[in-house]
Every structure is written in structure tokens, then in C-alpha cells.
Amino acid sequence: MATTGDIRKDTGRTVFGWIKSRFPTVPYADLTRVVVETDQRQLPRSHAEKYELKTIWYWYPLYCLGGISFIAFIVLTITGILLGFFYIPDGRLELGASGDLTNPAWRSMLTIMNDIPFGFIIRGMHHWAAHIMIAAVFLHMCRVYFTGAYKKPRELNWLLGVLLILITIMFGYSGYLLPANAVSEGAANILINMSRASPVIGDQLATLLFGDISTLSGRYILRWYWIDVFILPLVGTALMVLHMGLVWLQGVAEPH
Ligand code: HEM
């Protein structure tokens, strides 16, 4: 009969074996040189390498979708920094000069679009890069799924990908709120109601995310600004570096 010690040893071996078969102990520094011949980098070796194929599949462009997602993220970062120089993250309503209710955030958007040189185009680039990133990440996920690239040894990278697509969606949502106009308020009210519908902590969650839960005073803008420009970029960048680091170590799974 197996003793507790045996079970512990076996579990240890299995966990270690699981990790080792996916991330073998190789001199990783050497991987910066061309070491494909040593058989270390590709896990397993790609189909093209193994059979020395010279084929170019007509759907190779689909393998660029991860890279396109990353380029869109870089464009978003650069244009986002530029927008941040002029954007005022304050959505609290005030009585404007002409007697209408406005807020500093929306007024700063108008300044960016009408007065700042290239402001309109920078905002447009930010807007379209966000759309492209969401589409590219989704299509990249479909490519990975339909080529079976999520299977061993790339399961961990699929899971990182799941977190990345959630972060991408959150990026889109938080950016959508920032102009602080009627559309943003509509979107804010939807998430407030969704949060409030969560069991037990519903109201607390909505208050944490939006400041107010019955009438929007505009305080939510500052919170979502921090989510959009600090929390999500921090977590997202770390996960992207890990995700692409794993692709670098394991190689890209080619179609079989
Ligand atoms: C911000 C989002 C993402 C970025 C920047 C990104 C980036 C990349 C890049 C550059 C590659 C190399 C191969 C290629 O481009 O097709 C890759 C591969 C991979 N990605 Fe992503 N990705 C993202 C999201 C996702 C998502 C949502 C999933 C799945 C849920 C995913 C799962 C994978 C897997 C499993 C691989 C390895 C595929 C293979 O070896 O063929 N990624 N990713």
C-alpha cells in the first residue's frame, strides 16, 4: 500500500515533470543566439523544421494577429500619454458660463479636439487603435483555438491570454467612460446596475467602482481614469511581457 510519503513523492514528481516538460532547464541566455539546431527552443519542434518544409501557408498572416494586438497597444500607449497631457479627469457637473450643466472632463475633450494642434487626429488614433486591438485580440484567440495551439505545452499561455482578453475589454470600457458625455453615463449606469445585481456585495462593489450608485455625480470619472491609465496598463504590460516571453521560449506552434 502506498504510504503518505510515497504519495507526496509521486505528486512532487508529477508537478515537477509537468513543469519540466513545458519549461525545460536549458541555458536560456543561449536562446538569444540561433540555437534551433540544438532542438531546445521549439517545444515540440515546429512541423516546418522537423520535416524541413519550405511551404508558406496562405494563412500565415493570421499568425501576425498577436503582433498586431501588441502594436495597437503601443499606439494606444503613445497616443494615450499625449491625450493625458490635456485631459482633465473630473466629471463632476458644474454650471457653465452659458447656464448649461457641463463637466471639466468633457470640456477638456472639446479643447483637445478643437484647440490643441493635432488633438483631433491623436484622439482619432487612440479611438481606432482601441477598436483594432479588441478585434485583433479576439481574432488572435480564434486563430490559436482553431490551430489547436492552446494544447500542451502552451496551456499556461492560453490562460494568460484569457486574462489578457479580459484586460483588453476592460481597457475599452474604461476608455469609453472618459469623455464624460451622455454615452459614458449610459455605459456607467449599465455597469452600476450589473454590479448591484451581484449577490451580497453588489451595492458595495458599485459604490467602490463609481462613487455614487443612485444619481451619477461624475466622481466615477477619476476612478476609471486611474483604472484606464494606471492599473490596467501596469497589469496588462506585465501579462503581455510574460505571454510573449513564453512564446519566445516555446516557439510558435505551426499547423500540423
Ligand atoms: C493583449 C493581448 C495579446 C497579445 C499582445 C498577444 C500576443 C501574442 C503574440 C505576439 C503571439 C505570437 C504568435 C502570434 O502572434 O500569433 C502570441 C501567441 C499566443 N497567444 Fe497571444 N496575445 C494576446 C492575447 C491572447 C489571447 C486572448 C489568447 C487566448 C485566450 C492568447 C493565446 C496565445 C497562445 C496560446 C499563443 C501561442 C500560439 C502558438 O504558439 O501558435 N493570446 N500571442
Q: Cβ(167) to ligand 1 under 6 A? A: no
Burial string for 17-36 (b: 16+ CB within 10 Å, else e) reads eeeeebeeeeeeeeeeeeee
Tell me how far the alpha carbon of residue 67 lies from the centroid of ligand 1, in angstroms.
8
Q: Which atom of ligand 1 is nearest to the CA of 157?
A: 35
pTM: 0.86
More confident site: 6 or 230:
230
pLDDT band for position 100 (cuts 50, 70, 90): confident
Pick from 140, 156, 165 the residue to mutate for probing ligand 1's pocket: most ligand atoms within 8 Å of its CB.
Answer: 140
Segment 14-19 mean pLDDT: 84
Q: Cβ(65) to ligand 1 under 6 A? A: yes
Distance in angstroms (rounded) separating the CA atoms of residues 164 and 158: 10
For 19, the grid coordinates are: 513543469
Tell me how far the alpha carbon of residue 150 lies from the centroid of ligand 1, in angstroms.
9
Tell me how far the alpha carbon of residue 162 lies from the centroid of ligand 1, in angstroms.
10
Tell me how far the alpha carbon of residue 95 lies from the centroid of ligand 1, in angstroms.
48
Q: Cβ(36) to ligand 1 under 6 A? A: no
Q: What one-character DSSP code corresponds to residue 25?
A: -
225 Cβ neighbours under 8 A, 6+ residues apart? 87, 89, 174, 178
Nearest to 224 by CA among 201, 208, 237, 240: 208
Tell me how far the alpha carbon of residue 156 lies from the centroid of ligand 1, in angstroms.
11
pLDDT band for position 36 (cuts 50, 70, 90): very low
Tell me how far the alpha carbon of residue 66 lies from the centroid of ligand 1, in angstroms.
5
Q: Cβ(170) to ligand 1 under 6 A? A: no
What does the pLDDT look like over 54-84, one tens digit per residue?
Answer: 656 666 788 899 999 999 999 999 999 999 9
Distance in angstroms (rounded) separating the CA atoms of residues 187 and 210: 12
pLDDT band for position 122 (cuts 50, 70, 90): very high
Identify the pLDDT of residue 35: 45
Q: Cβ(158) to ligand 1 under 6 A? A: yes
For 184, the grid coordinates are: 459614458
Q: Cβ(240) to ligand 1 under 6 A? A: yes
Q: Which residue has the least CA distance to atom 1 on ligand 1?
A: 164
